[in-house]
Amino acid sequence: MRTVFRLGAVPFAVLLLVLSSAGCAHTKIAAKADPRVLYVGNPGSAREKDYIAFLSPHFPQLKTADLAKFDPALAKDSDVVILDYDAEFNAPRPKLPPDYSRATITVGVVGALISSDLGLKTGYM
Amino acid sequence: MGEAAQGEPIQHEVFSTPFKVEAQFEMWPTPNSYRRYPGGKDLPAQLRVWRVQNTGQQMGGVVSSPDGMNNSPDTEILAPGYNVGQQSGAVGVGRHGNFLQWGFSAPPSKMTDAGQKLFLNCIHYIRKFDGKPPQTR
């Protein structure tokens, strides 16, 4: 019994080590898989707070910016940009260069207007 | 646009990855504006829709034209939006290159569970198109 225990203990310890390592690796992969999101809206608005409360648990690397001052360079460390505002037709409309290629979600009327400015088929109808 | 997407969700990863979007269907009256467009007169009196948000307002948000969305290499209609001013099949959620337009207006706290999950999935989905700007305008 004693021998069996010792023989079994070593593989068990190795197994624990392997599982532990695998768990760490999995955690790292999962963390890497979470897109780094930049929410661009109206700073301090209730709508911005609403988005932050919703997105933060899902995207730990969430950052925010002001749509009125948005510059594509702000998005260089993000994977996905969300362009939104708590107004529609009188919201700021940043001018994006034609070669802007960051993955971006445009929201609502202001999103459609920004899309129209860029000549996109998802623009305002 | 109204508060709902129209019709059955398409077979697409944006409705299942990473979150399964479970649409709760309702029957809503066919908007009069639909009748003005080709085929509109043949639509039934009610249409199958699923709520994306609950703001209590009939209007808000925006749809995009479906014209030209299906003949471009890098555009997709992900969800038609129920609307009372344009045509049936107008785009509520769609993609062109690295841009995904979410036409609904509500902040997340006023989205339905299905709406919230679809929005989160859209973030994961559009990431795949980072660095891939529209090929056509």
What does the pLDDT look like over A57-114, one tens digit per residue? 999 999 999 999 999 999 999 999 999 999 999 999 999 998 999 999 999 999 999 9
Q: Clarify whether residues A16 and A77 are in a common domain.
A: no
- Here the ipTM equals 0.97
Q: For residue A108, what are the CA distances in angstroms to A86, B39, B64, B67?
A: 10, 27, 10, 19
Describe the strand order of the beta sheet including B4-6 as a list of residue ranges: B4-6, B46-51, B25-29
Q: Clarify whether residues A16 and A57 are in a common domain.
A: no
Nearest-Å Rg of the Cα atoms of chain B is 15
Q: Clarify whether residues A91 and A105 are in a common domain.
A: yes
Task: Report the half-sphere exposure of B124 (CA within 13 A, side-chain side).
Answer: 19
Residue whose token pair is 């999995």: A26
Q: For the segment A10-27, what is each residue's pLDDT rounded down to a tens digit?
A: 444 444 444 444 444 444
What is the domain-level CATH number for residue A60? 3.40.50
Q: For the segment B14-29, what is each residue's pLDDT rounded down to a tens digit?
A: 999 999 999 999 999 9
Q: Clarify whether residues A53 and A92 are in a common domain.
A: yes
Q: Clarify whether residues A101 and A46 are in a common domain.
A: yes
User: What are the backbone dihedrals phi and psi of residue B72, each rounded to the nearest 5 degrees, phi first?
Assistant: -115, 150
Residue range B107-132: mean pLDDT, rounded: 98
Binary contact (A106, B100; C-beta < 8 A): yes
Distance of CA A73 to the CA centre of its chain: 16
Binary contact (A122, B64; C-beta < 8 A): yes
Task: Report the half-sphere exposure of B117 (CA within 13 A, side-chain side).
Answer: 16
Residue whose token pair is 């919201």: A91
Q: What is the pLDDT of residue A32?
A: 55
Q: Is A60 on the interface with B (CB under 8 A)?
A: no
CA-CA distance, A37 to A56, in Å (whole number)?
Answer: 9
Q: Clarify whether residues A52 and A113 are in a common domain.
A: yes
Interface test with B, best of A121, A124, A125 (most B CBs within 10 A): A121
Q: How big is chain A, counted in residues?
A: 125
Q: Clarify whether residues A55 and A11 are in a common domain.
A: no
In a domain, A124, yes or no: no
In a domain, A123, yes or no: no
Measure the CA dihedral A96/A97/A98/A104, to 10°.
-40
In a domain, A95, yes or no: yes
In a domain, A44, yes or no: yes
Q: Which of B62, B75, B131 sits opposite A101 (nearest CB)?
A: B131
Binary contact (B108, A54; C-beta < 8 A): yes
Q: Clarify whether residues A108 and A70 are in a common domain.
A: yes
Q: Clarify whether residues A57 and A29 are in a common domain.
A: no
Q: Clarify whether residues A67 and A15 are in a common domain.
A: no
Domain that residue A66 falls in: 34-117
Number of domains in chain A: 2
Q: For residue A64, what are the CA distances in angstroms to A37, A43, B108, B125?
A: 8, 8, 16, 20
Q: How confident is the model at residue B137 (pLDDT cuts 50, 70, 90)?
A: confident
- The neighbour count for residue B113, using CB atoms within 10 Å, is 13
